[in-house]
Amino acid sequence: MFLKFYRVEKLVDRLALSRDSLNERVYNSRNGSKERKESRGRKLIRDKRVKENLRLRGGAEAFMWNFR
């Protein structure tokens, strides 16, 4: 039961991350390329962190594929 809740919580975090990066992209498309370059660097770091979390949590990875 706890594990299921934990996974859902992680999924919500993941959706929030993707929404933030979308907002960032919209903001940056209005505000020139310097910010876009910076956010690309941040996004790569964030993607790497998300991937690492998925790798560490092997079982949940298959679960997450349903929502990508």
- For the stretch 5-60, pLDDT in tens is 666 677 666 666 666 565 665 555 555 555 555 666 666 666 777 767 666 665 55
Sign of CA dihedral 57, 60, 62, 68: negative
For residue 37, what pLDDT is reported?
59
Round to whole Å and give the CA distance between 54 and 3. Answer: 14
Round to whole Å and give the CA distance between 46 and 37. Answer: 14
DSSP state of 65: H
Q: Reduce the DSSP state of residue 67 to 3 states and report it.
A: coil
Per the listing, tokens 């979308």 go with: 22
